[in-house]
Structure 1
Amino acid sequence: MDYRISVLFRAIPLLMGAVSAALGGYVLSHAPGPTARVAGLVLVFLAAICLCLFATAATIIRQLIGRYTASDHWLYPSLGFAVSGFTMGYGLWLIATGPRPPPDFVAGHVIFGVSMICTCVSCVATSSTRFTLITENSALPEGAPARSPAPFGPSTVRALLVLPALAALATWVWAFVLLAGGGGGAADGRFTAGHVMIGLALVCTCLIGLVASILRQVQNTYTPRERTLWPGSAAFLGGIGIVWGLIVIAAHTRSAQLSAGFVVIGLGLICWSILSKVLLLALVWRRTAPLANRVPLIPVGTALLCLFLAGFLFESADSAVIVAARVLIGLGAICFSLFSIVSILESGTGDSADREGEAEGSGTADCP
């Protein structure tokens, strides 16, 4: 990978995070009303996901350009987990502060769900600390034994798989508690927070497949069944998010419900952005995939859909709908950050394939 391109790919998540945080800060400072506080706080903390994606991008890129150090091995995953912890703490603080005004109740629950996504992305960064082994293992014949000694110990593998699973489970349970009428707060706040947390739980569940794909390819235990299991799961979960959002929109009786539906659609689009990474890893594993370089177009398309949808919603005079429009801009920034990650994966695997092709061509040319 060219060094200047590597700088660009690392800068994209940081720039997208800065856009989301700056818009959130502007909304908090200049927009009136309680709905502005919800949108502003959520936008500021959506930047935390972009920062965790930067940690993942830097972890992979520094390996590809040959500048990966022992400090990098710990620095970038630690950065992701630190951001996750801070985000979780702030969300819980908003929820626990009493009396809880409705904007803080909704924002606190959403920020807590965002911290669960940050935790899952940090597990992706940790799993990627041995990323270059994926191309080495992919060059081995089908049925080759697992790497020995294993790049990750059994306890580390279990922890990296269990942590995102627990994050997803916590988000699912909390969402259904809210929708069932528990958790305190007003009915409108529980409805909005519950449905948005459903979308956040879908994203966490998608990230389990990404962590598992990277781990198993690094360990050389990736199976043919997983080639369809993880991409299919991500596509299915994204579809659930979009359909769920459309149902909420169709059945809405209050503008707050309409806003929640559009946000869930945006989170479904993030699931499809994650699909691009899982799909690329499956496509290039031990086979040639001529269309693999088209996979980065998926997060570009989802980012544009989020921005176009936000543009339409900004034409509404309803302040609750404007919340969804603002949040969708932050979700579009996350989708574009995922474009950076999948482009890095495509570049790394593409470079490996090119080297193999050149070696085969050189060997043929030497034959008499």
Structure 2
Amino acid sequence: MNYRISVLFRAIPVLMGAVSAALGGYVLAHASGPSARVAGLVLVFLSAICLCLFATAATIIRQLINRYTALDRIMYPVFGFAVSGVTIGYGLSLLTETPRPPPDFVAGHVVLGVGMICVCVSSVATASTRFVQITKNSALPEGSPPLSPAPFTPLTVRTLLALPALASLVTWAWAIVLLAGGGGGLPNGRFTAGHVMVGLALVCTCLIGLVASILRQIQNTYAPRDRVLWPPAAAALGAIGIVWGLIVIAVHTRPAQLACAYVLIGLGLICWSILSKVLLLALVWRRTAPLANRVPLIPVGTALLCLFLSTFLFESADPSVVVAARVLVGLGGICFSLFSIVSILESGTSGGDSDGPASKAGGTRPPDDSGRVPS
């Protein structure tokens, strides 16, 4: 990977997070009404997902350009989980404050769900700490035994798989409670928060497949059933979110219901952006995939769809959907951040050269299994 391109790919998630946070701050400072507070807080904390994606991008890229150190192996996952903790903590603080303004009921649940996604993305970053092993394993013959000693211990593998599974379970349970009429708040607030939490749960569930794919390829336990399981599952989860949102639009007419339906569609598009990563890993594993370099176009398309939908909602005559239009800008930024990640995966799994300054100088060899760069 070209060094300058590697800098760009690491900058994209940070820039998208800055755009989302800046728009959120502007909405909080200059717009009025309860919907403005909800949209502003959600936009600010959608940037947390972008920061966790940056941690993932940096973890993989620094391995590809031969600059990965033992400190990097610890620093980037810890950074991601720290961002996750702050996001979850702020969401809980919104839900437990007294007295609690009605907008904070919806914003608190959404920020909490965003924190759950951050946990899943941070698990991806942690699983990617031995990413270069995927290329080595992919060169082995089909049916080769699992690596011994394994890059990750069985406890580490179970923990990394359990984190996104637990985050998904909590988000699904919370969404079901809200849609069943529990959890407090006004009926409209429960309806909106419940449906958005469903979309966030779909994203968390989608990320389970990504973590599992990375871990199993690193451990050399990726089987044919994984190739036919995880990509269709991610595609189905995205379709569920989009179809669910369209059904809400078709059946309900109240403003709050319309707004959450459009956000649900945007979260379905994020699932399809994650699909690009899962699909790429499946395509290039021990086979030639001439169209693999076209896979990064998927998150580009979903990002454009989010932004186009946001534009149409801004231009609509119904001011009640402006909150969805604002949030879709942040969701589009996340989709474009995922374009950066899938492009990095395509470069890493294709066995491309690392032509950063260090390699041009004849300098460093790839890091060993302990994360240290040999001298």
Q: TM-score range by the shorter chain?
A: over 0.9
Residue aligning to 1:361: none
Partners of 2:46 and 2:350 in 1: CA distance: 31
Q: Is the 8 A contact 1:88 1:115 kept in 2?
A: yes
Secondary structure of the structure 1 residue equivalent to 2:332? helix
Partners of 2:34 and 2:288 in 1: CA distance: 53
Shift of 1:353: 9.7
Identity %: 80
Residue aligning to 1:160: 160
Shift of 1:315: 1.3
Unaligned runs of 5+ in 2: 355-375
Shift of 1:174: 0.2
RMSD of equivalent CA atoms: 1.0
Q: Is the 8 A contact 2:135 2:351 kept in 1?
A: no
Shift of 1:236: 0.3
Residue aligning to 2:371: none
Pairing of 1:297-316 with structure 2 (within 5 A): 297-316=297-316
Is 2:273 the partner of 1:273? yes
* One-letter amino acid of the structure 2 residue matched with residue 35 of structure 1: S
Q: Structure 1 residues 20, 325: closer, same or farther in 2, change over 3 A?
A: same
Residue aligning to 1:62: 62
Is 2:22 the partner of 1:22? yes
Higher relative contact order (CA 8 A, sep 6+): 2
Residue aligning to 2:246: 246
Partners of 1:145 and 1:320 in 2: CA distance: 57
* One-letter amino acid of the structure 2 residue matched with residue 299 of structure 1: P
More helix by share: 1
Residues 61-87 of structure 1: per-residue CA shift (max 9 Å, x gap): 000000000000000000000000000
Partners of 2:188 and 2:162 in 1: CA distance: 33
Secondary structure of the structure 2 residue equivalent to 1:290? coil
Shift of 1:316: 2.6
Partners of 2:294 and 2:8 in 1: CA distance: 19
Shift of 1:352: 4.7
Shift of 1:317: 3.9
Q: Is the 8 A contact 1:135 1:352 kept in 2?
A: no
Residues 314-345 of structure 1: per-residue CA shift (max 9 Å, x gap): 01343330000000000000000000000000
* One-letter amino acid of the structure 1 residue matched with residue 31 of structure 2: A
Is 2:264 the partner of 1:264? yes
Residue aligning to 1:141: 141
Q: Is the 8 A contact 1:9 1:341 kept in 2?
A: yes
Is 2:287 the partner of 1:294? no
Residues 230-255 of structure 1: per-residue CA shift (max 9 Å, x gap): 00100000000000000111111310
Q: Structure 1 residues 241, 211: closer, same or farther in 2, change over 3 A?
A: same
Pairing of 1:1-368 with structure 2 (within 5 A): 1-352=1-352
Partners of 2:56 and 2:352 in 1: CA distance: 20
Name the count of aligned residue pairs: 354
Residue aligning to 1:362: none
Q: Is the 8 A contact 1:49 1:114 kept in 2?
A: yes
* One-letter amino acid of the structure 1 residue matched with residue 146 of structure 2: A
* One-letter amino acid of the structure 1 residue matched with residue 145 of structure 2: P
* One-letter amino acid of the structure 2 residue matched with residue 210 of structure 1: L
Q: TM-score, normalised by structure 2?
A: 0.93
Shift of 1:349: 1.5
Partners of 1:223 and 1:200 in 2: CA distance: 28
